[in-house]
Amino acid sequence: MAYGTLAINKALHKDWPWHVPFGGVPPPTRPEEYDFVLRESEHFKQRENALDAACGWRTDWHIFGQNFVYHYQIPMIAMDLNPEHLYKFDKTPNIVRMLGDICGMPFADYSFDVVFCFSTIEHLPSTYCSRALYELSRVCNNTLILTFDGANFEDILPILEVYGFDAGDRINQPGETLVTEKCEPVSYIIAERVECPT
């Protein structure tokens, strides 16, 4: 599943069916989400590696990986399910781009010190949402950071707890609560692993 391996075989790939088309315009909350997470990342900048799961397909505004690696010099794997767009990103030192499905990631348990997943969970059907949360928890060794729009916050916390994480409370940005263009709240979860499931 290395960079581009599946991209040359279109029969192995189906376009991600749940993405939201924005007509080339970044979601209005995306810059704020990235800024918030970069600020919070200061607390765990000594980590050794990172994963940006479902990193996105737009080279002009899915820029979290570049910003994170630039600020903290931590190697990152940026994974997404859309092979055509993996090639469109500029090659960036310390970022390896991989083709992969958030519901079945090609990584061993506890592979990453920190795992990010931005605005993806809410786009998944409920059966896939649970699977994605399991996979995110499985590959994360220390800190799991999620952002999501309008999803049921209270449904996600118990799932993370089952997988050995303390997710704490819903985190709102200082000042006004951040909302999407549909007036849905944007939730941030910074979950720390407290135990490894047996």
Q: Which CATH number do you get for residue 159?
A: 3.40.50.150
Would the CA dihedral through 126, 187, 90, 46 be positive or negative?
negative
10 part of a folded domain: no
Look at residue 151 in the predicted model and tell me its pLDDT.
60
Note the maximum CA span of the chain: 48
5 part of a folded domain: no
Q: CA 52 from chain center: how many Å?
A: 5
Number of domains in the chain: 1
Q: CA 175 from chain center: how many Å?
A: 24
Distance CA 193, CA 71 (A): 24
19 part of a folded domain: no
32 part of a folded domain: yes
Beta bridge partners of 118: 147
14 part of a folded domain: no
Q: What is the pLDDT of residues 12-35, one digit of tens each?
A: 334 444 444 555 666 667 777 788
CA distance readout (Å), 145 to 79, 91, 182: 15, 25, 23
184 part of a folded domain: yes
Distance CA 39, CA 32 (A): 11
Look at residue 181 in the predicted model and tell me its pLDDT.
55
44 part of a folded domain: yes
SS3 content of the chain, % helix, strand, coil (to 5): 30, 25, 45
Which residues of the chain carry a pLDDT beneath 50? 1-20, 173-176
Q: Which residues form the domain of 60? A: 26-193
13 part of a folded domain: no
* Coil, strand or helix at 133: helix
Distance CA 102, CA 120 (A): 9
